[in-house]
A and B are shown apart, each in its own frame.
Chain A
Amino acid sequence: MLKINRQELTVNKPESVRCLYDKYGGMLLGYIYEIVRDRKLAEEYLVQVFCDLSKQINEMDWKDTNSWCQLQSFARNKITSLTTAEPVDITIRADKVVHNFRNRYLEQMTALQKQVFYRVYYYGRSIAAISVELNETDDVIRKTLKEAFAIMKKSGGN
Protein backbone atom coordinates (compact mmCIF):
# COMPACT_ATOMS: atom_id res chain seq x y z
CA MET A 1 0.00 0.00 0.00
CA LEU A 2 1.24 3.47 -0.78
CA LYS A 3 2.20 5.49 2.26
CA ILE A 4 1.79 9.21 2.43
CA ASN A 5 3.17 11.59 5.03
CA ARG A 6 0.22 13.28 6.72
CA GLN A 7 2.16 16.51 7.26
CA GLU A 8 2.96 16.76 3.57
CA LEU A 9 -0.75 17.17 2.88
CA THR A 10 -1.30 20.23 5.00
CA VAL A 11 1.85 22.27 4.53
CA ASN A 12 2.11 23.97 1.18
CA LYS A 13 -0.72 23.68 -1.31
CA PRO A 14 1.03 23.01 -4.65
CA GLU A 15 3.58 20.70 -2.99
CA SER A 16 0.96 18.71 -1.11
CA VAL A 17 -1.25 18.42 -4.21
CA ARG A 18 1.83 17.34 -6.15
CA CYS A 19 2.51 14.69 -3.52
CA LEU A 20 -1.04 13.34 -3.89
CA TYR A 21 -0.80 13.54 -7.68
CA ASP A 22 2.46 11.59 -7.77
CA LYS A 23 1.03 8.84 -5.62
CA TYR A 24 -2.56 8.67 -6.80
CA GLY A 25 -2.75 10.53 -10.16
CA GLY A 26 -2.64 7.34 -12.24
CA MET A 27 -5.08 5.52 -9.98
CA LEU A 28 -7.48 8.43 -10.12
CA LEU A 29 -7.23 8.70 -13.90
CA GLY A 30 -8.02 4.99 -14.19
CA TYR A 31 -10.97 5.42 -11.83
CA ILE A 32 -12.36 8.47 -13.67
CA TYR A 33 -11.88 6.75 -17.03
CA GLU A 34 -14.07 3.84 -15.87
CA ILE A 35 -16.84 6.36 -15.16
CA VAL A 36 -16.68 8.57 -18.24
CA ARG A 37 -15.23 6.06 -20.76
CA ASP A 38 -13.48 8.86 -22.63
CA ARG A 39 -9.74 9.35 -22.21
CA LYS A 40 -9.67 13.08 -23.03
CA LEU A 41 -12.64 13.81 -20.78
CA ALA A 42 -11.11 11.71 -18.00
CA GLU A 43 -7.91 13.76 -18.21
CA GLU A 44 -9.91 17.00 -18.11
CA TYR A 45 -11.79 15.82 -15.03
CA LEU A 46 -8.52 14.76 -13.40
CA VAL A 47 -7.18 18.30 -13.80
CA GLN A 48 -10.41 19.74 -12.40
CA VAL A 49 -10.40 17.35 -9.44
CA PHE A 50 -6.85 18.29 -8.43
CA CYS A 51 -7.53 22.02 -8.91
CA ASP A 52 -10.61 21.79 -6.69
CA LEU A 53 -8.71 19.66 -4.22
CA SER A 54 -6.14 22.44 -3.80
CA LYS A 55 -8.96 24.68 -2.51
CA GLN A 56 -10.18 22.17 0.06
CA ILE A 57 -7.06 20.21 0.95
CA ASN A 58 -6.67 21.79 4.39
CA GLU A 59 -10.33 21.27 5.27
CA MET A 60 -10.26 17.54 4.59
CA ASP A 61 -9.62 15.00 7.32
CA TRP A 62 -6.45 13.16 6.30
CA LYS A 63 -5.77 11.72 9.74
CA ASP A 64 -8.53 9.18 10.26
CA THR A 65 -9.26 8.05 6.73
CA ASN A 66 -7.04 6.44 4.14
CA SER A 67 -5.76 9.09 1.67
CA TRP A 68 -6.84 7.13 -1.39
CA CYS A 69 -10.37 6.59 -0.04
CA GLN A 70 -10.63 10.31 0.72
CA LEU A 71 -9.39 11.25 -2.73
CA GLN A 72 -11.64 8.73 -4.45
CA SER A 73 -14.67 9.98 -2.57
CA PHE A 74 -13.77 13.59 -3.41
CA ALA A 75 -13.36 12.74 -7.11
CA ARG A 76 -16.61 10.75 -7.17
CA ASN A 77 -18.57 13.66 -5.69
CA LYS A 78 -16.97 16.08 -8.13
CA ILE A 79 -17.66 13.92 -11.17
CA THR A 80 -21.23 13.10 -10.20
CA SER A 81 -21.81 16.85 -9.87
CA LEU A 82 -20.37 17.39 -13.37
CA THR A 83 -22.19 14.52 -15.06
CA THR A 84 -25.85 13.65 -14.87
CA ALA A 85 -26.21 9.93 -14.26
CA GLU A 86 -29.76 8.67 -14.23
CA PRO A 87 -30.42 5.17 -12.81
CA VAL A 88 -31.34 3.96 -16.32
CA ASP A 89 -28.03 5.28 -17.72
CA ILE A 90 -26.05 3.47 -15.03
CA THR A 91 -27.93 0.22 -15.70
CA ILE A 92 -27.12 0.49 -19.41
CA ARG A 93 -23.49 1.43 -18.72
CA ALA A 94 -22.99 -1.46 -16.31
CA ASP A 95 -24.56 -3.92 -18.76
CA LYS A 96 -22.75 -2.67 -21.85
CA VAL A 97 -19.32 -2.37 -20.32
CA VAL A 98 -16.59 -3.68 -22.62
CA HIS A 99 -14.46 -6.22 -20.81
CA ASN A 100 -10.73 -5.76 -21.10
CA PHE A 101 -7.64 -6.84 -19.17
CA ARG A 102 -8.18 -4.01 -16.69
CA ASN A 103 -11.77 -4.77 -15.75
CA ARG A 104 -11.84 -8.54 -16.24
CA TYR A 105 -13.29 -8.86 -12.72
CA LEU A 106 -16.62 -7.66 -14.14
CA GLU A 107 -16.91 -10.82 -16.23
CA GLN A 108 -17.05 -12.90 -13.08
CA MET A 109 -19.84 -10.88 -11.49
CA THR A 110 -23.52 -11.67 -11.78
CA ALA A 111 -25.80 -9.02 -13.31
CA LEU A 112 -26.94 -7.88 -9.86
CA GLN A 113 -23.41 -7.74 -8.46
CA LYS A 114 -22.30 -5.69 -11.45
CA GLN A 115 -25.20 -3.26 -11.06
CA VAL A 116 -24.63 -2.81 -7.33
CA PHE A 117 -20.88 -2.50 -7.68
CA TYR A 118 -21.16 0.04 -10.48
CA ARG A 119 -23.68 2.15 -8.60
CA VAL A 120 -21.65 2.24 -5.39
CA TYR A 121 -18.05 2.26 -6.60
CA TYR A 122 -18.38 4.63 -9.53
CA TYR A 123 -21.49 6.68 -8.78
CA GLY A 124 -21.50 6.82 -4.96
CA ARG A 125 -25.17 5.80 -4.73
CA SER A 126 -26.39 5.01 -1.20
CA ILE A 127 -27.51 1.51 -0.27
CA ALA A 128 -31.02 2.81 0.34
CA ALA A 129 -31.19 4.44 -3.11
CA ILE A 130 -29.89 1.31 -4.84
CA SER A 131 -32.38 -0.91 -3.03
CA VAL A 132 -35.18 1.30 -4.41
CA GLU A 133 -33.66 1.43 -7.92
CA LEU A 134 -33.12 -2.35 -8.10
CA ASN A 135 -36.16 -3.30 -6.04
CA GLU A 136 -34.18 -5.31 -3.47
CA THR A 137 -33.80 -5.06 0.31
CA ASP A 138 -30.91 -3.11 1.90
CA ASP A 139 -29.47 -6.35 3.32
CA VAL A 140 -29.40 -7.98 -0.12
CA ILE A 141 -27.68 -4.93 -1.61
CA ARG A 142 -25.04 -4.84 1.15
CA LYS A 143 -24.38 -8.58 0.79
CA THR A 144 -24.16 -8.25 -2.99
CA LEU A 145 -21.73 -5.37 -2.63
CA LYS A 146 -19.56 -7.46 -0.33
CA GLU A 147 -19.57 -10.35 -2.82
CA ALA A 148 -18.78 -8.05 -5.73
CA PHE A 149 -15.94 -6.48 -3.84
CA ALA A 150 -14.56 -9.91 -2.93
CA ILE A 151 -14.57 -10.87 -6.64
CA MET A 152 -12.83 -7.67 -7.59
CA LYS A 153 -10.22 -8.11 -4.87
CA LYS A 154 -9.61 -11.74 -5.84
CA SER A 155 -9.28 -11.24 -9.58
CA GLY A 156 -7.72 -7.83 -9.82
CA GLY A 157 -6.18 -6.25 -6.82
CA ASN A 158 -4.46 -9.12 -5.12
Chain B
Amino acid sequence: MEINEYIESGVLEAYVLGSASEAEVRELLYLKGKFPQIQEALSELECDMENVAQHLAIIPPSDIWMKIEAGIKEVMDKSDADALIVRNPSKENRSHYKRPKNNLFIDVESTSSHMQIHKIWRWVFGAVFLLGKIFLACAIYFYFENRSLQKEMEQLEIKFIQQKAR
Protein backbone atom coordinates (compact mmCIF):
# COMPACT_ATOMS: atom_id res chain seq x y z
CA MET B 1 0.00 0.00 0.00
CA GLU B 2 1.24 3.48 -0.83
CA ILE B 3 2.00 5.59 2.23
CA ASN B 4 -0.02 8.55 0.93
CA GLU B 5 -2.92 6.24 0.25
CA TYR B 6 -2.60 4.88 3.78
CA ILE B 7 -2.58 8.41 5.26
CA GLU B 8 -5.62 9.34 3.16
CA SER B 9 -7.55 6.21 4.19
CA GLY B 10 -8.79 7.79 7.44
CA VAL B 11 -6.91 5.36 9.69
CA LEU B 12 -4.95 8.19 11.30
CA GLU B 13 -8.15 10.04 12.24
CA ALA B 14 -9.61 6.85 13.69
CA TYR B 15 -6.38 6.26 15.66
CA VAL B 16 -6.17 9.80 17.08
CA LEU B 17 -9.83 9.66 18.09
CA GLY B 18 -9.38 6.22 19.68
CA SER B 19 -11.72 4.43 17.26
CA ALA B 20 -9.18 2.24 15.47
CA SER B 21 -9.13 -1.53 16.05
CA GLU B 22 -6.20 -3.21 17.81
CA ALA B 23 -4.84 -4.54 14.52
CA GLU B 24 -5.02 -1.07 12.97
CA VAL B 25 -3.24 0.46 15.98
CA ARG B 26 -0.49 -2.19 15.81
CA GLU B 27 -0.03 -1.60 12.07
CA LEU B 28 0.01 2.17 12.51
CA LEU B 29 2.59 2.06 15.31
CA TYR B 30 4.78 -0.16 13.17
CA LEU B 31 4.46 2.10 10.11
CA LYS B 32 4.91 5.24 12.23
CA GLY B 33 8.38 4.06 13.21
CA LYS B 34 9.22 3.19 9.65
CA PHE B 35 7.82 6.16 7.75
CA PRO B 36 8.36 9.69 9.10
CA GLN B 37 5.51 10.97 6.88
CA ILE B 38 3.03 9.10 9.10
CA GLN B 39 4.50 10.63 12.26
CA GLU B 40 4.28 14.04 10.62
CA ALA B 41 0.68 13.50 9.54
CA LEU B 42 -0.23 12.33 13.05
CA SER B 43 1.33 15.38 14.70
CA GLU B 44 -0.49 17.63 12.25
CA LEU B 45 -3.75 15.87 12.97
CA GLU B 46 -3.26 16.25 16.71
CA CYS B 47 -2.65 19.98 16.21
CA ASP B 48 -5.80 20.21 14.10
CA MET B 49 -7.81 18.47 16.79
CA GLU B 50 -6.54 20.94 19.34
CA ASN B 51 -7.38 23.88 17.07
CA VAL B 52 -10.88 22.57 16.48
CA ALA B 53 -11.41 22.08 20.23
CA GLN B 54 -10.10 25.59 20.90
CA HIS B 55 -12.68 26.92 18.48
CA LEU B 56 -15.45 25.10 20.39
CA ALA B 57 -14.18 26.12 23.84
CA ILE B 58 -16.47 27.63 26.48
CA ILE B 59 -14.90 29.68 29.26
CA PRO B 60 -15.66 27.87 32.53
CA PRO B 61 -17.23 29.85 35.41
CA SER B 62 -14.74 31.08 38.01
CA ASP B 63 -16.00 28.74 40.76
CA ILE B 64 -15.35 25.56 38.76
CA TRP B 65 -11.69 25.34 39.78
CA MET B 66 -12.62 25.67 43.47
CA LYS B 67 -14.99 22.72 43.07
CA ILE B 68 -12.28 20.69 41.32
CA GLU B 69 -9.75 21.58 44.03
CA ALA B 70 -12.19 20.54 46.76
CA GLY B 71 -12.84 17.28 44.88
CA ILE B 72 -9.12 16.55 44.51
CA LYS B 73 -8.57 17.27 48.22
CA GLU B 74 -11.36 14.84 49.07
CA VAL B 75 -9.85 12.18 46.78
CA MET B 76 -6.41 12.67 48.35
CA ASP B 77 -7.78 12.58 51.92
CA LYS B 78 -9.68 9.40 51.08
CA SER B 79 -6.62 7.71 49.62
CA ASP B 80 -4.59 8.74 52.69
CA ALA B 81 -7.29 7.32 54.98
CA ASP B 82 -7.41 4.08 52.94
CA ALA B 83 -3.67 3.73 53.33
CA LEU B 84 -4.06 3.92 57.12
CA ILE B 85 -6.70 1.16 57.41
CA VAL B 86 -5.29 -1.76 59.42
CA ARG B 87 -6.66 -5.06 58.32
CA ASN B 88 -7.43 -7.53 61.13
CA PRO B 89 -6.00 -10.92 60.30
CA SER B 90 -8.59 -13.68 59.99
CA LYS B 91 -8.67 -16.45 62.59
CA GLU B 92 -6.96 -18.87 60.19
CA ASN B 93 -4.16 -16.45 59.45
CA ARG B 94 -3.84 -15.66 63.13
CA SER B 95 -3.31 -19.32 64.00
CA HIS B 96 -0.47 -19.53 61.47
CA TYR B 97 1.26 -16.52 62.94
CA LYS B 98 4.04 -17.33 65.34
CA ARG B 99 5.26 -14.65 67.68
CA PRO B 100 9.06 -14.37 67.60
CA LYS B 101 10.48 -15.55 70.94
CA ASN B 102 12.96 -12.78 71.52
CA ASN B 103 10.92 -9.98 70.01
CA LEU B 104 7.90 -9.52 72.27
CA PHE B 105 7.11 -5.91 71.40
CA ILE B 106 6.38 -4.24 68.11
CA ASP B 107 8.15 -0.97 67.58
CA VAL B 108 5.38 1.53 66.89
CA GLU B 109 7.29 4.73 67.56
CA SER B 110 6.63 7.19 64.80
CA THR B 111 9.48 8.97 63.10
CA SER B 112 7.39 12.12 62.75
CA SER B 113 7.74 14.81 65.45
CA HIS B 114 4.12 15.89 64.90
CA MET B 115 0.90 14.36 66.19
CA GLN B 116 -2.66 14.57 64.92
CA ILE B 117 -5.65 15.05 67.20
CA HIS B 118 -9.39 15.34 66.70
CA LYS B 119 -10.73 18.78 65.72
CA ILE B 120 -12.96 18.89 68.83
CA TRP B 121 -9.85 19.39 70.95
CA ARG B 122 -9.53 22.86 69.46
CA TRP B 123 -12.69 23.90 71.33
CA VAL B 124 -11.60 22.09 74.50
CA PHE B 125 -8.25 23.88 74.46
CA GLY B 126 -10.03 27.18 73.79
CA ALA B 127 -12.39 26.64 76.73
CA VAL B 128 -9.48 25.70 79.03
CA PHE B 129 -7.58 28.82 77.97
CA LEU B 130 -10.65 31.02 78.54
CA LEU B 131 -11.34 29.49 81.98
CA GLY B 132 -7.67 29.99 82.89
CA LYS B 133 -7.97 33.68 82.02
CA ILE B 134 -11.19 34.02 84.07
CA PHE B 135 -9.61 32.33 87.12
CA LEU B 136 -6.53 34.54 86.80
CA ALA B 137 -8.69 37.67 86.66
CA CYS B 138 -10.68 36.47 89.71
CA ALA B 139 -7.47 35.72 91.62
CA ILE B 140 -6.07 39.19 90.92
CA TYR B 141 -9.39 40.84 91.87
CA PHE B 142 -9.75 38.97 95.17
CA TYR B 143 -6.06 39.56 95.99
CA PHE B 144 -6.46 43.35 95.73
CA GLU B 145 -9.84 43.20 97.47
CA ASN B 146 -8.27 41.29 100.32
CA ARG B 147 -5.37 43.75 100.51
CA SER B 148 -7.68 46.78 100.71
CA LEU B 149 -9.80 45.07 103.38
CA GLN B 150 -6.70 44.30 105.40
CA LYS B 151 -5.62 47.97 105.19
CA GLU B 152 -9.08 49.08 106.29
CA MET B 153 -8.92 46.68 109.22
CA GLU B 154 -5.52 48.04 110.23
CA GLN B 155 -6.83 51.62 110.11
CA LEU B 156 -9.88 50.67 112.16
CA GLU B 157 -7.64 48.92 114.68
CA ILE B 158 -5.46 52.06 115.00
CA LYS B 159 -8.56 54.24 115.45
CA PHE B 160 -9.91 51.85 118.08
CA ILE B 161 -6.61 51.92 120.02
CA GLN B 162 -6.45 55.73 119.80
CA GLN B 163 -10.03 56.06 121.12
CA LYS B 164 -9.27 53.61 123.93
CA ALA B 165 -6.19 55.64 124.91
CA ARG B 166 -8.23 58.85 125.27
Residues on A lying within 8 angstroms of B by beta carbon are 1-2, 13-14, 17-18, 21, 24-31, 33-34, 42-43, 46-48, 50-51, 54-55, 65-66, 68-69, 72-73, 76, 102-103, 120-121, 124-128, 130, 139, 141-146, 149, 152-153, 156-158
Contacts and interface: CB of A to CB of B under 8 A. Distances in A.
A17 B71 CA distance: 12
Contacts of B68: 17, 21, 46-47, 50-51
Contacts, number: 144
B65 A72 contact: no
A29 to B, nearest CB: 5
**Most chain B C-beta atoms within 10 Å of own C-beta, residue among A47, A124, A141:** A47
B81 interface: no
4 interchain residue pairs of minimum CB distance: A142-B10, A51-B71, A157-B51, A146-B10
Contacts of A141: 10
Given A46-B60, A127-B19, A142-B14, A54 B75 contact: yes
B72 A13 contact: yes
Contact of B20 (A33, A127, A152, A153): A127
Contacts of B47: 1, 66
21 contacts: A2-B50, A17-B68, A29-B58, A30-B57, A31-B56, A46-B60, A50-B68, A50-B71, A54-B72, A66-B47, A66-B50, A69-B49, A125-B19, A127-B19, A127-B20, A142-B14, A146-B10, A146-B13, A153-B51, A156-B52, A156-B55
B43 to A, nearest CB: 8
Contacts of B9: 139, 142-143, 146
B17 A120 contact: yes
Which residue among A33, A51, A125 has the maximum number of chain B CB atoms within 10 Å of its CB? A51
B36 interface: no
A1 to B, nearest CB: 5
Nearest to A141: B10
Contacts of B46: 65-66, 68-69
A42 B50 CA distance: 19
Given A1-B50, A73-B18, A18 B65 contact: yes
A31 B76 contact: no
The main secondary structure of chain B at its interface with chain A is: helix
Q: Interface residues of B toward A: which range?
A: 35 or more
Nearest to A119: B19
A139 B1 CA distance: 14
B79 to A, nearest CB: 8
A68 B65 CA distance: 18
A112 to B, nearest CB: 13
A34 B58 CA distance: 10
Nearest to B51: A157
A30 B52 CA distance: 11
A139 to B, nearest CB: 7
